Structure 1
Amino acid sequence: MLEKFQSLKSSLTGPRAHDHGGSSGAPGKQLRIMLMIHSYWPENSPPQRRWTTLIREFRKSGWDVDVVTPVAHFPEGRRSLPVSEAGRPFRGQKGPLGERIKRVPYIPHSGNSHVARLLDQLISAAMSIPAGLMWRKADVVIVTAPSLPIMVAGYVVAKLRRVPLIVEMRDAWPDLARDARIVKGSVKSIVERVVEAIQKRADLVVSVTEGFAETLRARGVKNVVTVSNGLDLDSVPVFDPPAVDSDTFEALYLGNHGESQRLDVVIRASALVGDSMRLHMVGHGSQRPGLMELAQELNAPVTFHPSLQGSDVLDRYKQADTCIVSLRDDWKSFEATVPSKTYEVMSIGRHVTAVVRGEAARIVKDAECGDVVAWNPEAVAALWRELAADRTRLHTGTTGRDWVREHANYPMLAQKYMDTIAALVREKSAV
């Protein structure tokens, strides 16, 4: 949610001409990137937030960026923005950072239909192939997944254009597909075989967590680097700590209300604590209607809010005592997953209620910015009662922000990405 505020600020400032000096990884050569992505500006989505910030840094170094992406239609499943922003199929469009965007068609659908979303992604990915082939040739093709169909499109375009392919895995696929029971049984599915084949044939695979990078290496993927999610720390405010005295304990969740988060746990926990607290749920997702029904059934102290933007997001953060980061613990792939929201909460100076495990849990513990709690309502409720009784524990200081500055600040991450890309292009050019 806060990334909307950052993206708007980035869009308004844009690249600065005097910064176009070239990456330190590619002295004297300004590269052209073709990014193939299933969701991009002006949408607000995880891939959009990551790549809007990365592209801003690429453009500062004078790199050209061409983006192949569907007409903007996330999350409603249909275009809700003016054509001037959402774009037209197979028409060129200038992005807010000076990047060039080529839009491809999509299939209108209900945002909550898995089958319809898959069909939409298949059509858009298929249309991305001619869009990528007819456009000017880039030095490298980057495809970011999921969605999985766009991986195939990126592979085809890179091979036909004879340029290096970088596959960016923002989630632990195909492992996540089996955890989510998208694929079943002991025999590898076609989805798993295709994903693993493309990962092994890519010139470089980028993982957003070190845990999944290790999984890929163990699987036989040779060229793997980690460029984590993060945020532009200079665009993120830090708030004063919560008041030491308060009659009501305020917990906040901002983000997707989906199957991966299993937010029924925090709703049940709030019902156990009762009227001495208030849980605020901000966002949208496939599970939201069921969560609203559950809260009403339990008479839980929960207030649901729509997705917020700009100052409304900041106000909601200011009022919070703790912010929730949640991933279900019965999907093994989530041991190597870090919700991008984690870095945001760590940076603003709020206590983190971390209902996570694996790498995400380790980050919160290392940063000393919150509490990692077991994935059950009783444990979460017990933690919140303790925090309400001793509100000095909510004062986390700057430890979380300091950790993000060192490990997950996007200007630093973008420079690492550029150095890696430049080295790959040099290597392939020398062959």
Structure 2
Amino acid sequence: MIARAKNSQNRTILLVTHHYAPESGAPQRRWGALAGHLVPAGYPLTVLTPPPHYPSGKITHLSPDHLPGSVSSGDHGEKIIRVNYREHSHGLGSRAVDQMVAAVSSVLRGVRSPTGRPAVVIATVPGIPSVVAGWALARWHRASFVVEMRDAWPDLIQPSGILLRRGRSGDLRRGLRDLAARAVHRTVTRLQARADLVVTTTAAFAEVLRSRGVRNVAVVRNGTAFAPVRENAPVALAGRPLRVVYAGTVGRSQGLDVAVRAAALVQARGYALDVRIVGHGNELEPLRLLAAELDAPVRVEPSVPSTEVRDLYAWADSVIVSLRDWEPFEWTVPSKLYEVMASGVVASACLAGEAASLVAANGAGAVVRPGDVEGLADLWCGWLSDGVVPAASPDAATWVAGHASDAVLGHRYSELLDELLPHPLTAEGPGRGARY
């Protein structure tokens, strides 16, 4: 009887997101994996998202199925509605306008969704305007509202300085940007407090939100399906250079200048190493210039398809996982870390907070403080002096399988949605939620 009642219940999800397949990246991968679990579990999914245009800002796939106004089916049976967007540069203002255009278009298209009235509206960040759009659609449809915070936004606005342009800026302009940052922080915090559920990807950020009075917070980590590339055994260098790789987003948040400076320092101490930074992002060219300036043994290379990341990890003796020394990053675990832990390759982790604790507790690698050039250089010099890179513990991959695998996270998300909608819906609206 219970199963029949659940099956007759409206369980449709309306997802508002600025990033979705066929784009590649952590947000896109997350919801591709979740869709693969939720749709078969009885949660029909409709996605409101702009055309694929990440990271260039221009449409990357010109199929009619990807243009604004199109409605198509995804790989898992989800319905994908493409909303309007605006071509953008790498500048913050340009990207913000694009996100706002997509958010407004999501509301206009979402109020007349071809899949009917949703039971749950999920708005996912990054793309802060998506949260406002999701809230408006949840109110319109009298649906439960879920806010998904992939990172510690909006807390990252101030330390990252993303509202400050390089170069000189007048007091009035600085004041306006500071005012804008505070306004965004207040808006997102209020919407978090009004949501029926806030999903974070780390336990640390969940505790921060609870301390602010957010009443219903749950953790669904980022996941991975990465398979080991080697057995957990020490790697003998046998007189060759230490091989280190970073593969992923190359932006301000990663602080990869530390790796370049550490590599130059290791070389200055008379040791040989080969560092590769492979990816895409605003800092790719500045890092290339820094490596040339310091004559560091660092190759800065464009991104490769995800299928080739395994080859990079198999080549490497260690994989860099790095974030800057900003307080909100102590509440953040980069999705890259789970991939590295699952790979069996030892991590060179420039991390703090929850992410550093995961590395240390599970023997996934060595931890140095973010921004610590000397510490990272000392770590690599120690391995080179010993002639051996230590093995990562098998506990790291075991932990990922139990806490951050796609199957575990999909099951966790469906459990949360079951709790959010415990009773069949009536004509008046959800049995729980929709409280604004």
Match of 1:132 in 2: 110
> Which residue of structure 2 aligns with residue 236 of structure 1?
227
Q: Quote the Cα distance in structure 1 between the aligned partners of 2:161 and 2:275.
A: 30
Pair 1:195-2:188 in alignment: yes
Measure, in 2, the Cα distance between the counterparts of 1:270 and 1:414. 40
Amino acid at match of 1:119: V
* SS of aligned partner of 1:305: strand
Q: Does 1:215 align with 2:208?
A: yes
Contact 1:23 1:415 in 2 (8 A): no
Superposition deviation, residue 119 in structure 1: 0.6
Residue 242 of structure 1 deviates from its aligned partner by: 6.3
- 1:59 matches 2:39: yes
Q: 1:349 to 1:180 in 2, by over 3 A?
A: same
In structure 1, the gaps of 5 or more residues are: 1-21
Alignment of 1:253-332 (within 5 A): 253-274=246-267, 276-329=272-325, 331-332=326-327
Shift of 1:257: 1.0
Q: Aligned in 2, Cα 1:421/1:293: closer, same or farther, shift over 3 Å?
A: same
**Percent same amino acid at aligned positions?**
39
Q: Describe the shift of the 1:157–1:365 C-alpha distance in structure 2 as closer, same or farther (beyond 3 A).
A: same
1:25-69 Cα shifts (integer Å, max 9, x gaps) = 957757211111001000012210111011111123232110000
State the partner residue of 2:405.
Answer: 409
* Conserved 8 A contact 2:237-2:388: no
- Structure 2's unaligned 5+ residue stretches are 164-176, 424-428
Question: Is the Cα–Cα contact under 8 Å of residues 322 and 394 in structure 1 kept in the other structure?
Answer: no
Q: Is the contact made by 1:242 and 1:321 (CA closer than 8 Å) also made in structure 2?
A: no
CA deviation profile, 1:263-299 (whole Å, cap 9, x unmatched): 1100000111126000000101111111110000001
Once the two structures are overlaid, the 10-residue window that deviates more, 313-322 or 179-188, is 179-188
Match of 1:356 in 2: 351
Q: Distance in 1 between matches of 2:405 and 2:6?
A: 21
The amino acid that maps onto 1:132 is G
Partner of 1:249: 242
Q: What residue in structure 2 maps to residue 13 of structure 1? A: none
CA–CA distance in structure 1, aligned partners of residues 281 and 395 of structure 2:
31
* Structure 1 CA distance for aligned equivalents of residues 131 and 142 of structure 2: 16
Residues 350 and 394, structure 1, Cα contact 8 Å, conserved in 2: no
Aligned CA-pair RMSD: 2.2
2:57 equivalent in structure 1? 77
What is the match of residue 137 of structure 2? 157
Q: 1:395-406 residue pairs with structure 2 within 5 A?
A: 395-406=391-402
Name the residue aligned to 2:149.
169
Q: Report if the CA contact (8 A) 1:121-1:147 is conserved.
A: yes
Q: TM-score, normalised by structure 1?
A: 0.89
Q: Work out whether 1:344 is the aligned partner of 2:339.
A: yes
**CA 1:391–1:162 in structure 2 vs 1: closer, same or farther (change >3 Å)?**
farther
CA distance in 2, matches of 1:377, 1:160: 52
How has the CA–CA distance of structure 1 residues 106 and 187 changed in structure 2, closer, same or farther, with 3 Å as cutoff?
closer
* Residues 379, 195 of structure 1: alpha-carbon distance in 2 compared, 3 angstrom cutoff: same
Alignment check: 8 A CA contact 1:34 1:68 kept: yes
Q: 1:422 to 1:304 in 2, by over 3 A?
A: same
Amino acid at match of 2:354: E
Query: TM-score scaled by structure 2?
Result: 0.88
Q: Which residue, out of 93, 104, 119, partners 2:83?
A: 104
